Chain A
Amino acid sequence: PAGGVSLRLCSTRVALEGINKPVIDRIIRVDHAGEYGANRIYAGQMAVLGRSSVGPIIRQMWNQEKDHLKKFDELMVAYRVRPTVLLPFWNVAGFVLGAGSALLGKKGAMACTVAVEESISDHYNSQIRTLMEEDPEKYKELLQIIKQFRDDEREHHDIGLEHDAEAAPAYSVLKTAIQLGCKAAIFLSERI
């Protein structure tokens, strides 16, 4: 049976009253990793396309991701969740993905954005489902945050489509590959 509060014998962890710590741990850890990675992806895209016509759009989306990351930093401290060990890896991988896709041109960058943001929104949706199944009242604040962020990511996804992501070279291959990578990243960050 999924844990209630783990207390006495896990001696020192002062559990926040009544939450399902393992589930919340995973959620916050993977979301933090995701926002961190998204940050680095946009940073990579900016490094290549910063001075092009899509520069301002990318910068705007990047700023929103920075806000998201800040929020998860706060949640991480509040819920005493450990970050994923793979952060340094996502640091590099994210930047390389962003810069690499941007080197394929503006449409390539937009395709990358579409792929990533679609993965992230799906991922947030399943987390919302999980939390709703657990206890929508108890996790109200967290649910609100995740819903808001999901909407933001959807918006980024739509912006990417508006900017001709689908016209990018090898769009479907690119999209599939990136989404597979995202799935793997999510799987690993939840656990490690």
Chain B
Amino acid sequence: VVRCQLSSPQRPLQASAVLRRVSDEQKKEPLASSSQQQFDSHPTDPQPEQEPQGPRPSYTGQGGQESEDYESEEQLQHRILTAALEFVPEHGWTAEAIAEGAKTLGLSVAAAGMFHSDGSELILHFVSQCNTKLSELLEQEQKLVQLGEAEKKPTDQFLRDAVEARLRMLIPYIEKWPQALSILLLPHNIPSSLNLLTSMIDDIWHYAGDQSTDFNWYTRRAVLTGIYNTTELVMMQDSSPDFEDTWRFLENRVADAMNMGDTANQVQSTGEALVQGLMGAAVTVSN
């Protein structure tokens, strides 16, 4: 129960404070009482550890501030969304799933009101989590190679494995994933979803050992993005055991990409040879 009257710009503060009270009652006593004190004595000041941001979590790169044991709004939202994932296969990427997730954390169902009604944040949170998991996986593999405990994979194998690992994370949610994809394409979600996609692709290339500093940087990422997106779409419609058709499709696309690279190199060296020939001819003629 909120005892103080709060003005409307602090609604998100109020909402999360209410939720925090509910959840704090279940946490250890000293923490609950200190947080209540903090709240009561500064009714109109923003909570010190909260960033001046809107109620929606941002997926384009703001770190949450953490102070001691006090949970920021962003962290709370993360916990709710993570808990909500369990209910996605049943309820889809919707506010219902978020509400169910909030319930398991002992929070009020109204917590779902913190989020957009179309489930955008849930999906973005999930994608973000998957990307982080992929990064950690690739980082670990890299460590093993550096320690000499594993063989360095050839590039096509590496790309195949990375994309497969990332797509496999969708398997538990595969029924509802087409819905998620369409929501990610909504105009207000495009900046975030594009950002997540590009940083994932960049990560994969980074761990694959890409060190290009010329236009190849773009070509490689564009190609891999194409491979990833098309494979994802194929996976949506794949009904083969353990998605083997999808992985075969992936293998073929990666092989195509490798061939494209070779062809490009061949074209370039042919071009260079041609230019040299012409220069030689010009010199000869001018002499």
Contact = CB atoms under 8 A, between A and B. Distances in A.
Given A10-B59, A10-B61, A10-B199, A80 B206 contact: yes
Contacts of B129: 11
A73 B212 CA distance: 8
Contacts of A13: 61, 199, 202-203
Given A3-B61, A4-B63, A5-B63, A12 B135 contact: yes
Interface string B21-59: 000000000000000000000000000000000000111
A9 B61 contact: yes
A11 B135 contact: yes
A85 B218 CA distance: 8
Given A8-B63, A13-B199, A83 B132 contact: no
B5 interface: no
Contact size range, B: 20 to 34
Contacts of B218: 82, 85
Contacts of A12: 131-132, 134-135, 196, 199-200, 202-203
Contact of A9 (B128, B202, B213): B128
B284 interface: no
State the main secondary structure of chain A at its contact with B.
Answer: loop
A76 to B, nearest CB: 5
A184 interface: no
B236 interface: no
Contacts of B63: 4-9
Given A12-B132, A12-B135, A14-B139, A83 B214 contact: yes
Contacts of B215: 83, 85, 87-88
Given A12-B132, A85-B218, A76 B60 contact: no
